[in-house]
Structure 1
Amino acid sequence: MSCLRFNKKDTRSERKKKDPLAPIRDVWDWFERKRKPGHVTFYNSTKNGVDGIKNATRLFVQEKVEAVTHGELHKHPGRCMFGRISRLQNSETRTSIFKWEECPFGFHKECFFRIGRHLVRRSNIPTMSHYLKETIALTLGTLGAKKVPSKRPSSCPPSGEELPSKTLKMSAAPAPATSTSELKSTGNEEWLFRRRVILDRFISDINNIQPNIHGTFT
C-alpha cells in the first residue's frame, strides 16, 4: 500500500486519527487528473500479460472519450491499476459497464466510468463520482437516509447490495443502499488500510489484473 502512504504500521493509527480519508483523496485526485477528456490510454491487445500493459499507447482523441472502442488501463504510481471503458462499438448509446470476471473475494465488481449527471437521469444509475461522495459522507456519518441511491435497473449485473454480509465484512466496501449502521458494523474506516484498495464498487490491485481484461466488458 505504498501508493496510499499508509505502509508504516507504527504510525498508521496516528495518521488515521488526523485524516481517516487521506487514502481516498490521494488515489481519487490522481484518477481525476488522468481521466480528463481527450487523453486515452489503450491496452495493447497484441501482447499478452504484463508486456501488453507496459506497452500501452497514450493518444489524444479529438472526439468525445466515449467514442473509443477499447478498454483502458491506467497505472497508479504505486501498486494500483485502474481499468476503464471508453466507448461501445457502432456508436451504441446504452450504458457501458466494466466487469471484473474474477475478484479476490469471489464476486463481481462493476464500475461506471462515464461520470456525469445525465447518466444518472437517463439510466437511473449513480456514477462513480456519486458513490465516492456517498462513501465519504457515510464514513463521516453525515449522510441522511433519503440520500441513499435509488435501486439499480434490472438490466444491470449483480452489485454490492446482493453480496452476503460476510463478504461485505471481508472487503469492507460500502455497497449501494448500505445504511450508516451497516457500514459501521463492517469495520467503518478499517477498509481504508487494506492492501486491496476499494473505491466505491471497484477493486484495484495490480496483482489481480487479468491478461484478457480488455475483453470482459459488456
Structure 2
Amino acid sequence: MSARISNNLRSAKAVAAALSDSEDERLSENSNDGSVFLVSNDEDSEIEKVKGEDVITEYEDDDEFDLETEPASKQRRLNKGADRQSCRGSRSSGNPNFSTNTKNDDMDVETPVEAFRVLFDDAILDKIIIHTNEEIERVMCLLISKEHQCQSIHKKIDKEELCAYLGLCFYSAYFKENESCVKDMWDDVFGRGIYRATLSGKRFEFLNRVLRFDDKNTRSERRATDKLAPIREIWDIFIQNCTNNFEPANNCTIDEQHKPEIIMSYNCYKGATDTFGEKSHEFSTARRTARWPLRFFYNMLDQSAVNARVAYNLNADNPRLSRKKFLKKLAFGLVEPHLRRRLGIATIRASIKKIIRKLLEIDEHVPAVVSVIKENTRSKCHLCDSNAVGRTRMKCPNCLRRMCDDHRTAICVECSAAN
C-alpha cells in the first residue's frame, strides 16, 4: 500500500508541476508555508502530513490521500461515487459534449447486419477467408500424408459460411454460452436448435482450430518487428473503419490513456470508457482458447457489436434497440443466408430441415401418407427382370404399377415431407 501511495504521490507531483504557471507554485519539500508531504526512503513507511492544507486541497477527494478517520473516508467515497454518477447521468440525458456522430452522412444503416458490415467489411472477411483456407489446405495435406481420409468438415470456407460462424459466436454471447463446451451446445436434448441448424458441432470446432488472420509463411519475419503480426492486418482495417465512420465528441477518454493536464477531470469523463468495456464483456463471444490471436479476434467481435449498435441507433428511422435485442437480430441476420442454403441440400437430415423451416418461419406442409395398394390378384413386378418368376399383389400408390418386396420401401412422415 505504501508503495502504491508513493507512486500516486509522484504522479500528483507531476500533475501539479504541469498545471503550474510558475516555478513557485510547484510542489516541493521546501515549500514556503511548510505544507508538504514527507516521504521516507523506506517503501514500507507511512506518509507523514506536516502542517498546512493548501497543497492537498485538490486531492482531498482521492482515497489514496485521505488520512481522516474511517467514517469520514467512507462518506467521502460515497460522495465521489455520487459525483461520478452525476457525470454519467448528464451524459445519458443528452449532454452534447458526450454525443456521438457518424462522419459519413450516407451511412444510414437499416439493419443490424448492415451496421456490423460497416466495421467488419469485405476487406476483413476476405483476408480471414484466404488465410483460413490456407490453413485448411495444410491440414488436408497433413491428413493425406498420414493416409487419413478427408471429411466434409475439412472443406474450405466461403463468405456465407464465415458470416454464419460469426453469427453463432454472437448467439453464444446472447445466450451467455460462450464458455460452454461445444458438445453441450449441440446436444440433441439440452442444446439449442439454432446451433445444429447452422453448422455441425464438428465443423464449428474445426473452424475454431483453423481460423487464421495472416500469412503463416511470412509471420516469423513480420513478428521480429511487430508483436501483433498474427492479427495486425485485420486489426488495422478494423481501426480504420471505426475512425472513418465515427466522430468522437470533444470530451473523450481513450481506454484510460490520459495526459497529466486533464487528469483532474478524468473521473468525470471516463464513464464512457467504463461503459464500453462493460458492454463488451457483458455479452462476450470469447471462448476458451490457447491461441491469443483468436482471443484478440473475439474481442474485436465484441467491440464491433457495441459500435454497430451505436451506428444503427443513430439512424432516426430505425426502431431503437437494446443491446440484447440488437445482438439477437445481428446473430440471426448473419446466419439466415446459410440456413436458406442448407435447406436446399438433399443430404441434410429431415430433423435439421424441420428446425430451419421453423427458424425461417416457412410453413411445413406434411403430405398425407398413402398406403400401398393391395390387389386381389398377383402379377409380375415391373422392376424385376423378365425372367423372374415372382408375383406380387402390391401396387405403388403413385404410379399404380406392381412392385415386389425387393423393390419397395417405407419412409417416415418427416422424410416424406422433405421429399
TM-score, length-normalised on structure 2?
0.16
Greater strand share, structure number: 1
Greater helix share, structure number: 2
User: Computing the radius of gyration over CA atoms, which structure comes out larger, 1 or 2?
Assistant: 2
TM-score, length-normalised on structure 1?
0.26
- Which structure is richer in relative contact order (CA contacts within 8 A, separation 6 or more)? 1
